[in-house]
Amino acid sequence: MLEGKKIVLGVSGSIAAYKSALLVRLLVKAGAEVQVVMTDDATAFITPLTLSTLSKRPVFVEYYKPETGEWNNHVDLALWADMMIIAPASANTIAKMANGLCDNLLMAVYLSAKCPVYFAPAMDLDMWKHHATQENVIRLKQFGIGIIQPGTGELASGLHGEGRMAEPEEIAEFISTEIKKKLPLKGEKILVTAGPTYEAIDPVRFIGNHSSGKMGFAIADRFAELGANVTLISGPSAQKSKFKIERIDVTSAAEMLEACQLHFADAKACVMSAAVADYTPEIVADKKIKKQEDRFNIDLKKTVDILKTLGSVKHDGQILVGFALETHNEEQNAIGKLQSKNLDLIILNSLNDAGAGFQTDTNKITMIDRELMSTVFELKNKDEVAIDICKKVIELMNA
């Protein structure tokens, strides 16, 4: 859940600041980009060098660097962030947050933040229980600021009770859970196919195509990023998923059909981006065919149309998306496929468009829905194309 997330980590003046080092390490290890902003008091407990080394980014403490006059722009920092975590949040920092005081860079970033903000209190028992602190916490909750509850245990004063900052592992898990709660496809089952199929001629030769699987893998990753439980059925491909995805590897069209039939019924949406062979050898030789004749013929038979098969059993509320890679009569052919196979959406590619098609990092698509509403997109990176496709699928799911 933290993969690719941009996180501003605020560190205020508390003995618990030593835990921030492990927190930074956990967030970075989970794939997040972490920008640390410290108060001046926090530097007495842990050095900026430590947190800079772990985050692989410079740590910001002051509004500007006196030696160069360079400004640490608090607005840019706030806009950059997908979320902001203040850990540890001392009683003093919590009071400033609740009352809009802005006497350091951290508070300037906080007051400029439009992203979700969370704070992990860290202080002694009596400070935490004090009416003023509790009123400030209530006020922050009313602002929509999320609290990561302090734990109970031995405190720096020697007292035992509530007030110690949550452990770094607990904070990282808390943030991951919060992200999951807000994802639009949380818990939805999505089926995606990708890559080519290889139809065997003999033990060493096959009929195939040039599909790399890049588009399908990008779509699967985007769905996973949006919280879906993704099953990816892939033909032979060197691509790897960035997220935790159930991957089923197949080789032939028959194997892909079998896998799709096994998983389609439970899927809320299915995006069939695989380039499945239309024909397969009628007879597969059990030994390597030797080169003897000047001419060699292979009898082919049609493969089962996976997309049409799924379209025939699609239930109400289920979204089925197909792809059409065309060289001529592009829109006419795509619409024919959309209607004959009972699809909700067809993604049209044309090999006449430079930068589109197999083996490229870019794609240019046109989306056509059941009402024959057509949306043309410019040439984009396939990751960006995946965002557009998934956005449209969500719209159809919510319609």
pLDDT tens for 286-314 read 999 998 888 889 999 999 999 999 999 99
Cβ contacts of residue 258 below 8 Å, gap of 6+? 250
Distance CA 108, CA 103 (A): 8
Q: Is the pLDDT of residue 166 over 70?
A: yes
Predicted local distance difference test score (pLDDT) of residue 64: 80
Architecture of domain 6-181: 3-Layer(aba) Sandwich (3.40)
pLDDT tier, 258 (very low <50, low <70, confident <90, very high otherwise): very high
- Is CATH 3.40.50.10300 correct for 189-398? yes
SS3 of residue 201 by DSSP: coil
Q: Kindly state the average pLDDT of the residues 45-65.
A: 93
Check if 209 is active-site.
yes
Question: By CB neighbour count within 10 A (0-12 exposed, 13-18 middle, 19+ buried), where does 1 fall?
Answer: buried
pLDDT surpassing 90 at residue 352:
no
Which residues have a Cβ under 8 Å from the Cβ of 269 and sit 6 or more positions away? 188, 190, 191, 318, 319, 320, 321, 393, 396, 397
Cα 278–323–208 angle (5° rounding)? 35
Least confident of 77-81, 350-354, 370-374: 350-354
State residue 152's pLDDT score: 86
Are 367 and 377 contacting, i.e. CB atoms less than 8 angstroms apart? Answer: yes
Binding residues for CTP: 278, 288, 323, 337, 341
According to the model, what pLDDT value does residue 128 have? 95
Rounded to an integer, the average pLDDT of 90-101 is 97
384-396 burial, b at 16+ Cβ within 10 Å, e below that, comes to: bbbbbbbebbbee
Confidence of residue 80 (pLDDT cuts 50, 70, 90): very high
Phi, psi of 36 (to 5 degrees): -90, 135
Confidence of residue 356 (pLDDT cuts 50, 70, 90): low
**Would you place residue 237 in the very low, low, confident or very high pLDDT band (cuts 50, 70, 90)?**
very high
DSSP letter assigned to residue 167 = P
Pairing mode, strands 206-207 and 199-200: antiparallel
The closest alpha carbon to 230, from 352, 73, 393, 104, belongs to 393
Boundaries of every domain in the chain: 6-181, 189-398
pLDDT for the residue 243: 85
Distance CA(331)–CA(340), nearest Å, equals 14
**Whole-number average pLDDT of the chain:** 93
Better-scored residue on pLDDT, 391 or 186: 391
If pLDDT is split at 50, 70 and 90, which confidence band does 156 have?
confident
Q: Tokens 């639009």 label which residue?
A: 184
For the entire predicted model, the pTM comes to 0.72
Residue 112 and residue 145 in contact, taking contact as beta carbons nearer than 8 Å: no
pLDDT value of position 357: 65
Catalytic residue among 73, 209, 333, 381: 209
